[in-house]
């Protein structure tokens, strides 16, 4: 049955959030600690506001404390840095998330490095990036972490399999490649990017394909092997005259053509997307429990 092939990210993320909710109650009952997550938004980016609102809603659902701070787009780098420093010292806060992108006059790298790595629940700080690379404990970036959970909970065999990642971003491609190489996953990993000579040649021998290239419906059925597993990280808006608002959201995979040929696939929406927030919550509860840095 075709429906059995679809990896339901909504359901899996709901299961994870239910587990976190229980852990939150246990933590509160045994220690009085309430997981606390701070969000900072600089400027008026509407998408950033939507993302932060849904992360805040997840905090409410799970019994976390959350604190959203808004700065105008005219805010200086120094103002943002001093806000981060006060949150680094705030013992009610276990995770700090500065929503990206930042206005152009603010140096993103400097801001990420100012967040204490023990509260870096986004997993973007070089300390956590380095720990991922050498396989030691640290915060994992939420989307790659969510992809690994999707594969594990969908019982996808990864050991010795050819995993092909399309895209080499710092947020998805590179970290997910590092995770797929870990001993407990044990895949053989290839990363394709804009200078790869023949992506279709590489993907056609892949057992697992992770598409994170940011191009609508890039991966077609004639580029894949029968029975492969496809994880679609893309979120693209494409014009659709038949849709109510004139557009629809689609992934980096041509879902309809690949569905027949693959053994498992994530839909867009409802695949990787909901997992990102679930893993942000997971990182925050782990931080509050002292499970990452003690
Ligand atoms: N902007 C888009 N996605 C993310 C994310 O996961 N974390 C942060 N901090 N900013 C984002």
* Residue range 41-99, pLDDT digits in tens: 999 999 999 999 999 999 999 999 999 999 999 999 999 999 999 999 999 999 999 99
Q: Tell me, what's the pLDDT at 218?
A: 98
Residue 222: pLDDT over 90? yes
Do the domains spanning 31-118 and 142-273 agree at the CATH topology level?
Answer: yes
Q: Is 142 in the pocket of ligand 1 (CB under 6 A)?
A: yes
Q: Tell me, what's the pLDDT at 294?
A: 81
Residue 3: pLDDT over 90? no
Looking at CATH, the fold of the domain delimited by 31-118 is given as Rossmann fold (3.40.50)
CA of 160 from ligand 1 middle (Å) equals 32
Residue 165: pLDDT over 90? yes
289 is catalytic: no
- Asked if residue 51 lies in contact with residue 111, where contact means CB atoms within 8 angstroms, the answer is no
Q: In 10 A of CB 288, how many CB atoms?
A: 25
- Give the ligand 1 atom nearest the CA of 280: 6
- pLDDT classification of 1: cutoffs 50, 70, 90: low
CA of 91 from ligand 1 middle (Å) equals 23
Q: Tell me, what's the pLDDT at 85?
A: 98
- Asked if residue 5 lies in contact with residue 271, where contact means CB atoms within 8 angstroms, the answer is no
Q: Is 100 in the pocket of ligand 1 (CB under 6 A)?
A: yes
Q: Tell me, what's the pLDDT at 2?
A: 55
CA of 170 from ligand 1 middle (Å) equals 12
pTM over 0.85: yes
Residue 111: pLDDT over 80? yes
Nearest CA to ligand 1 atom 2: 100
Residue 21 makes CB contacts below 8 A (sequence gap 6+) with 61, 62, 63
Of 8, 99, 119, 161, the active-site residue reads 99
List the domain boundaries for the chain. 31-118, 142-273
Instruction: Give the Cα separation of 284 and 235 in Å (integer).
Output: 25
Question: Please, what is the Cα angle at 237 between 231 and 241, to 5 degrees?
Answer: 125
- Give the ligand 1 atom nearest the CA of 276: 6
127 is catalytic: no
Nearest CA to ligand 1 atom 11: 100
- pLDDT classification of 212: cutoffs 50, 70, 90: very high
Task: Residues 142-273: name the CATH superfamily.
Answer: NAD(P)-binding Rossmann-like Domain (3.40.50.720)
Of 8, 120, 122, 252, the active-site residue reads 122
Q: What is the CA radius of gyration of the chain?
A: 19
Give the E-state strand segments of the chain in sequence order: 36-42, 65-71, 95-98, 162-166, 188-192, 208-211, 229-232, 236-239, 247-250, 264-265
- Residue of 260, 282, 263 whose CA lies nearest to 94: 282
Nearest CA to ligand 1 atom 9: 99
Best probe residue, ligand 1, of 38, 40, 95, 97 (max atoms within 8 Å of C-beta)? 97
Q: Tell me, what's the pLDDT at 188?
A: 98
Of 8, 55, 174, 282, the active-site residue reads 55
Q: In 10 A of CB 224, how many CB atoms?
A: 25
* Residue range 264-286, pLDDT digits in tens: 999 999 999 999 999 999 999 99
244 is catalytic: no
Best probe residue, ligand 1, of 40, 47, 122, 175 (max atoms within 8 Å of C-beta)? 122
Best probe residue, ligand 1, of 48, 80, 100 (max atoms within 8 Å of C-beta)? 100
């Amino acid at each position: 049955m075709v429906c059995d092939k679809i990896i339901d990210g909504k359901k899996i993320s709901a299961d994870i959030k239910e587990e976190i909710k229980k852990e939150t109650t246990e933590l509160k009952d045994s220690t009085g600690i309430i997981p606390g997550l701070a969000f900072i938004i600089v400027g008026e980016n509407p998408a950033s506001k939507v993302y932060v609102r849904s992360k805040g809603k997840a905090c409410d659902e799970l019994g976390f404390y959350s604190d959203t701070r808004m700065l105008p787009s005219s805010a200086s780098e120094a103002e943002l840095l001093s806000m981060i420093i006060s949150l680094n010292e705030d013992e009610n806060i276990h995770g700090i998330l500065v929503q990206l992108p930042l206005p152009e006059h603010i140096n993103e790298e400097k801001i990420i490095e100012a967040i204490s790595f023990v509260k870096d629940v986004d997993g973007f700080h070089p300390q956590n990036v380095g720990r991922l690379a050498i396989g030691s404990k640290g915060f994992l970036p939420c989307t790659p972490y969510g992809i690994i959970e999707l594969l594990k909970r969908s019982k996808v065999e990864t050991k010795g399999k050819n995993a092909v990642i399309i895209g080499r971003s710092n947020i998805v491609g590179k970290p997910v490649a590092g995770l797929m190489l870990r001993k407990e996953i044990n895949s053989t990993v290839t990363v394709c990017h804009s200078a790869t000579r023949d992506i279709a040649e590489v993907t056609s021998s892949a057992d697992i394909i992770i598409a994170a290239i940011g191009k609508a419906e890039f991966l077609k059925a004639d580029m894949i092997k029968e029975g492969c597993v496809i994880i679609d990280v893309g979120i693209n808006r494409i014009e659709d005259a038949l849709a109510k608002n004139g557009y629809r959201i689609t992934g980096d995979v041509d879902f309809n053509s690949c569905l027949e040929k693959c053994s498992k696939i994530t839909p867009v929406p409802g695949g990787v997307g909901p997992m990102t927030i679930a893993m942000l919550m997971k990182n925050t509860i782990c931080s509050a429990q002292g499970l990452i840095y003690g």
